[in-house]
Amino acid sequence: MTQEEIEDRLANQDWTAAEEGCREFLRSKPVNPKVNGYLGWCLMQRKDHVGAVESLRRALNLDPKMWKAGLYLSQCLIQLNRYQEAWPVVEDSIKLAPNDRTLLALRDFLQDRVKHRGERWEINQRVEAKIVMHED
């Protein structure tokens, strides 16, 4: 299958056929960042966020300027409650697309999650330290 045929299937929102086309294409050209990104998008649409993370991360590794792959990767990581991992992806993607509203909204969303999670971790560490000290 050609990249154009994959793009047609994506445009028609035929996620299953597009995914199959991406996998076929990538068997012969595994280092194509765009098709790896397409595969990640298909998997994301089919709610396979774990699989999408792998493909989108590969797309970004192959072409770090693919900010949309970063956008989709961060959305998948958020769906998986992996906020700490999503944070640097959003930050890097914003450097490439500083006016993208979705990325800015994701950054705002993650700021609260990452900040509060860090505070809870610190509080838990202090509580655990007190418990250990009182056990003696």
Closest Cα partner for 31 from 75, 62, 73, 74? 62
Does 128 or 91 have the greater pLDDT score?
A: 91
Q: What CATH number is associated with residue 124?
A: 1.25.40.10
Residue 79, by phi and psi: left (phi above 0), alpha (psi -120 to 50) or beta?
A: alpha
**Residue pLDDT, tens place only, 97-120:** 999 999 999 999 998 788 665 554
CA distance 84 to 91: 12
Average pLDDT, the chain: 88
What is the domain extent for residue 97?
3-135
Residue carrying structure tokens 């979705």: 102
Counted domains in the chain = 1
Average pLDDT over residues 49-75: 97
Cβ proximity of 83 and 110 under 8 Å: yes
The DSSP symbol for 29 reads -
Mean pLDDT of 39-50: 97
Helix and strand totals (H; E) in the chain = 7, 0
